[in-house]
Amino acid sequence: MNIKKIATGLLFLSVIGSAVAEEAYPPETQIVSHKTRAQVIEELKQARANGELITNDLYPVEVQHKSTVTRQAVKDELKQVDRSQSLDTGA
């Protein structure tokens, strides 16, 4: 009786072991590069210069857009709107 239990247990372990011992999924694929090492390094330098490279879990900095209006022009426009009481508050 004990021999049957031991034999059944060993058979069960061998079946489990063979099921676990399969190949990794997905299979490894060969990567073919279309750029030279020098091209990749140049692109990396360009990305660093443009501030496009994300490092240390930091998000990219929002690009500051150049204003086409001077500070004085904005102040004058605000004064004009205040005088006419036509400031749209979106409410």
Query: What is the spatial distance between Cα 5 and Cα 63, in angstroms, rounded to a whole number?
Result: 72
Helix (H, G, I), strand (E, B) or coil at 12: helix
Share of the chain above pLDDT 70, in %: 76
pLDDT of amino acid 12: 77
Which regions in the chain score pLDDT beneath 50?
none
Instruction: Answer whether 51's CB lies under 8 Å from 61's CB.
Output: yes
DSSP codes, 54-91: --TTPPPPPPPPPPSS-HHHHHHHHHHHHHHT------
37, two tokens:
């090492």
Instruction: Answer whether 16's CB lies under 8 Å from 8's CB.
Output: no
Instruction: Answer whether 54's CB lies under 8 Å from 45's CB.
Output: no
The model's pTM is 0.32
pLDDT of amino acid 73: 94
pLDDT of amino acid 20: 62
pLDDT of amino acid 86: 62
